Amino acid sequence: MSFAILTDTTKCIGCRECVIACKKENNLPPDFPRRWNLEDGLSARNWTSVIDRPDGKYVRKQCRHCLEPACVSACPVGALEKTKTGAVIYARRKCIGCRYCMMSCPFGIPRYDWDQPVPYIRKCIFCYSRISTGRQPACTEACPTQATIFGERAHLLEVARQRLRESPGKYLDKVWGETEVGGTSVLYISDIDLSFLTRGQELTDEPVPERTKLAMNAVPFAFLGVVSAMAAVNWVIQRRMKLEREPEPRPPQEADHA
Determine the interface stretch with another protein among 69-77, 130-138, 164-172, 182-190 (rule: CB under 8 A). 69-77
* Interactions with another protein, residue window 108-167 (CB under 8 A): 108, 111-120, 142, 144
Strand partners, 176: 188
State yes or no: residue 209 binds another protein (CB under 8 A): yes
State yes or no: residue 16 binds another protein (CB under 8 A): yes
State yes or no: residue 94 binds another protein (CB under 8 A): yes
- Please state, in angstroms and rounded to a whole number, the distance separating the CA atoms of residues 150 and 2: 11
Instruction: For strands 3-8 and 49-53, give the pairing.
Output: unpaired
Conformation bin of residue 199: beta by default, left when phi > 0, alpha when psi is -120 to 50: left
The smaller minimum CB distance to another protein, of residues 58 and 171, is found at 58
* Interactions with another protein, residue window 189-208 (CB under 8 A): 198-201, 203, 208
Identify the helix (H) or strand (E) that includes residue 57: strand 57-61
The smaller minimum CB distance to another protein, of residues 49 and 171, is found at 49
State yes or no: residue 250 binds another protein (CB under 8 A): no
Alpha-carbon separation of residue 140 from 69, 119, 158, 258 (angstroms): 22, 28, 18, 100
Determine the interface stretch with another protein among 59-67, 88-96, 166-174, 250-258 (rule: CB under 8 A). 88-96
